[in-house]
Structure 1
Amino acid sequence: MLPLIAAPTESGRPRRVLAVSAHCDDIEIGAGGTLHTWAQAAPDTEFTCVILTSTPERAAESRACLTALVAPAQVEIVVHDLRDTRLPVDYDRVKDALAELSREPWDVVLTHQRYDAHQDHRLLGEFAPTAFRDHLVLAFEIPKWDGDLGTSRPNVYQPLTADAVEAKWRIMNEHYVSQHEKDWWDAETFSALARLRGMECRHRYAEAFRCEKAVLGAPLF
């Protein structure tokens, strides 16, 4: 496996990680263990999280949760005011937001999968490969009622320790009080998926992603 995040860059500068989501809690659910693991391995990593829809209450929860997940690293959190469940009709504003982000030299971009059943997630997943043509894009998965986890087979895995799985749930549950009444919001949901993805990559736990295209680097010969 390639140490994409923990290893130093060629220039010696810190890694820059961008995570873009439709809603508050998407980044944490899809990649919270990964962000936590990367931050622990390389505390100088520069994290930026962009959330396109929110309410003031959910935005506050997300800011607190993401900050805790990547500690001791620092994170910049940007929250837009687009409408939940209506991103497809806000097409131009979504496209403009991603175009602006794509001008930055990110080492990796985390966002939704194009095969996600939720229309907001799916739109970001469809935009990402063309918006971030010069970046490594890893698309995370969100377990949900729709049962869409099998629509896009993951091909990139981030192994997680048991401590990382526990920290992901503990931090999310502490800060997302608004989600406590949801019938799917419990430790088993997230640990079960992490165990399944870990089995797929010969580790105890993992988070899984889909990468549609990657460039290995400069020619060797």
Structure 2
Amino acid sequence: MLNVPLPQLDRPLRVLLLGAHCDDIEIGAGGTVAALAQQRPDTQFAAVILTSVPERAAESRACLAALANPADIEVTVHDLPDTRLPSHFDEVKDVLADLARQPWDLVLTHQRYDAHQDHRLLGELAPTAFRDHLVWHFEIPKWDGDLGTSRPNVYVPLTRAQIDAKWAVLDEHYVSQRGKDWWDAETFSALARLRGMECRAPYAEAFRVEKLTVDLSAGA
């Protein structure tokens, strides 16, 4: 398996985190965000969430800030209706078009194979909106049982301590999710262990990259 580092730049790395709902980004890529913030604390994170209510928005702002610490993160929360994003196609498209005008080095968002209609819409639109960006599509474990369709091809190895810390931050800030049958440490650690096995690491978060180019002259 080839280990490819993120580019070393003479400026901060600019990372966009794009989620359909509050907690999507943290569940799909929270460990990656935290690890990147620790390794490159000058990273400039921006999180954009399409659907929310005030209570959930507050939870997400606090959770994302904790995961991104010590790096800075700007969180924007829209109030489109949950489970109804496909019927608000034009508004979603406009949000993505505005974001795509900015020079992101990395975009993390949903994937097109997700069974949830809100997630799936962002996964389908992201490659067409962010044509000149590197896009990593994260996965969300859930009742629909769609993980077998994701076929990840990019892995971020993580330690047990990092996975435990991710869960601790999520559970601390997402009080609204406590009591749900899927909300426990085992859900997230089990998936991370499986993805770690796939990349010969203790644990990992996995993503899918649909398209990229290779610069053969780099370093020449």
Q: TM-score, normalised by structure 1?
A: 0.96
Residue 3 of structure 1 and its aligned partner are, at CA, apart by 1.4
Between the two proteins, what is the percent identity of the paired residues?
71
Superposed CA RMSD in Å reads 1.0
Residue 216 of structure 1 and its aligned partner are, at CA, apart by 2.3
Q: Is the 8 A contact 1:8 1:14 kept in 2?
A: no
* C-alpha separation in 1, matches of 2:57 and 2:200: 36
1:141 to 139, 142, 159: 139
* C-alpha separation in 2, matches of 1:18 and 1:141: 16
**Structure 1 match to 2:121:** 123
1:74 to 64, 72, 75: 72
Correspondence list, 1:11-50, <5 A: 12-50=10-48
* C-alpha separation in 2, matches of 1:71 and 1:217: 32
Q: Is the 8 A contact 2:139 2:150 kept in 1?
A: no
**Structure 2 match to 1:51:** 49
**Structure 1 match to 2:163:** 165
**Structure 2 match to 1:3:** 5
Q: Which runs of 5+ in 1 are unaligned?
A: none
Residue 8 of structure 1 and its aligned partner are, at CA, apart by 2.0
| Runs of 4+ residues deviating >4 angstroms | none
1:215 to 185, 191, 213: 213
Q: Is the 8 A contact 1:16 1:47 kept in 2?
A: yes
Correspondence list, 1:103-114, <5 A: 103-114=101-112
Residue 57 of structure 1 and its aligned partner are, at CA, apart by 0.3
Given the alignment of the two structures, is residue 196 of structure 1 paired with residue 194 of structure 2, yes or no? Answer: yes
Q: Is the 8 A contact 2:152 2:207 kept in 1?
A: yes
The AA in structure 2 aligned to 1:137 is V
Residue 219 of structure 1 and its aligned partner are, at CA, apart by 3.6
Residue 218 of structure 1 and its aligned partner are, at CA, apart by 5.7
Residue 176 of structure 1 and its aligned partner are, at CA, apart by 0.1
**Structure 1 match to 2:130:** 132
Number of residues of Structure 1 aligned to a counterpart in Structure 2? 217
Q: Is the 8 A contact 1:34 1:158 kept in 2?
A: yes
* C-alpha separation in 1, matches of 2:72 and 2:193: 28
Q: Secondary structure at the match of 1:196?
A: helix
